[in-house]
């Protein structure tokens, strides 16, 4: 479809043809832009609008939605449940995304570096199996493993230990482990690619100069793959910030509020309490947190994107 324009480009003057190319490309871009506008930018603008209304799924407000100014946000900051959710979100993010997926992913990638390709393939497939499994299936597997009469408790009983109600005694730990199991493969792949790009000669030079293995890793390799680290950090953070299915299916945000992260809190307000406006306001805060955290990473790592 694009071939006519390129053949023209070869024959006419470069300046003029470039201009023409631009128009043609823009023309081709137009459908995507229109769709992006309708399905992406439109909803975001609507989110901004609804966050300032008392939009509701049912009840009189569903019929007569009113502009309520900042009252959704005022309520949110007075709501102890919101504060709890922010804390739960940070804990979840810290342990599942940053500590868990990043560090575990990096260690895996490091251990597999320059190992036998067959070994790499086998381990890689095992780790990636967690990643390709749909979130809801991951949740189901972990519930089957951790519930009162689940696999783990059966094993414990076999060896004479008392069963533990894992999902109720350690709910946050359970969902964090499940998410690490699910997401580590992504970090591992990113780090594998980055580590493979570090020239061997540099490392060897450093070793010759008397650097220890740890020094090579810390002073040479890590700075060289900083860009990948930050990109991976942002992607993993944003992905983890939005995790809903896994937690909702495993614990429903409970017991009590112990795994009620912001997405769960938002869902509960919007679709259980029927307060769509309030839920939208929470989603806006979630968006804001995502942007802030990403900027923080970029700033602290001094990486330009």
Contacts with another protein by CB under 8 A lie at 1-2, 6, 9, 17-18, 21-22, 24-25, 28-32, 35, 39, 56-63, 75, 78-81, 147-148, 165, 167-168, 252-258, 268, 271-275
Distance CA(1)–CA(21), nearest Å, equals 13
Could you tell me the CA-to-CA distances from 299 to 64, 89, 137, 254 in Å, in that order?
45, 22, 37, 35
SS3 assignment, position 243 = coil
Cα dihedral 163→167→170→173 (10° resolution): 120
Residue closer to another protein by CB (options 61, 135) is: 61
Provide the minimum distance between the beta carbon of 93 and another protein in the complex, in angstroms, as a whole number: 22
Q: What is the DSSP letter of 219?
A: I
CB of 191 to another protein, least distance (A): 27
| Closer Cβ to another protein, 165 or 207, answer by number | 165
Instruction: Compute the least distance from the CB of residue 303 to another protein, in Å.
Output: 24
Output the furthest CA–CA distance in the chain (Å, rounded). Answer: 84
**Cβ distance to another protein smaller for residue 139 or 233:** 139
Beta carbon of residue 272, minimum distance to another protein (angstroms, whole number): 5
The nearer residue to another protein, 84 or 235, going by C-beta atoms, is: 84
Nearest distance from residue 62's CB to another protein, in Å? 3
255: phi > 0 → left, psi -120 to 50 → alpha, else beta; which? beta
CA 61 to each of CA 46, 73, 272, 278: distance values in angstroms, whole numbers, following the listed order:
17, 18, 16, 12
Query: Residue 147 or residue 237: which is nearer to another protein going by CB?
Result: 147
């Amino acid at each position: 479809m694009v071939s006519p324009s390129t053949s023209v480009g070869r024959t006419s003057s470069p300046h003029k043809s470039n201009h023409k190319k631009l128009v043609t490309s823009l023309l081709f871009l137009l459908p995507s832009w229109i769709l992006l506008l309708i399905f992406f930018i439109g909803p975001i603008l609507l989110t901004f609008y609804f966050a300032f209304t008392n939009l509701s799924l049912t009840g009189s407000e569903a019929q007569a939605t009113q502009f309520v100014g900042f009252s959704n946000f005022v309520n949110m900051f007075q709501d102890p449940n919101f504060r709890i959710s922010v804390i739960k979100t940070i804990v979840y993010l810290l342990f599942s995304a940053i500590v868990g997926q990043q560090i575990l992913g990096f260690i895996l990638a490091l251990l597999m570096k320059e190992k036998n390709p067959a070994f790499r393939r086998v381990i890689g497939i095992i780790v990636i199996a967690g990643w390709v499994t749909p979130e809801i299936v991951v949740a189901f597997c972990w519930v089957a493993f951790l519930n009162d009469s689940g696999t783990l408790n059966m094993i414990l009983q076999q060896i004479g230990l008392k069963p533990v109600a894992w999902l109720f005694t350690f709910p946050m730990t359970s969902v964090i482990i499940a998410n690490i199991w699910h997401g580590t493969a992504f970090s591992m792949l990113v780090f594998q690619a980055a580590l493979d790009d570090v020239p061997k000669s540099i490392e060897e030079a450093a070793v010759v100069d008397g650097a220890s293995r740890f020094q090579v890793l810390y002073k040479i390799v890590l700075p060289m793959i900083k860009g990948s680290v930050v990109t991976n950090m942002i992607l993993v953070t944003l992905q983890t910030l939005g995790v809903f299915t896994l937690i909702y299916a495993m614990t429903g945000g409970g017991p009590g509020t112990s795994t009620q992260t912001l997405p769960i809190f938002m869902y509960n307000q919007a679709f259980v309490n029927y307060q769509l406006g309030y839920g939208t306001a929470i989603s806006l805060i979630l968006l804001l947190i995502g942007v802030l955290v990403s900027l923080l990473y970029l700033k602290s790592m001094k990486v330009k994107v």
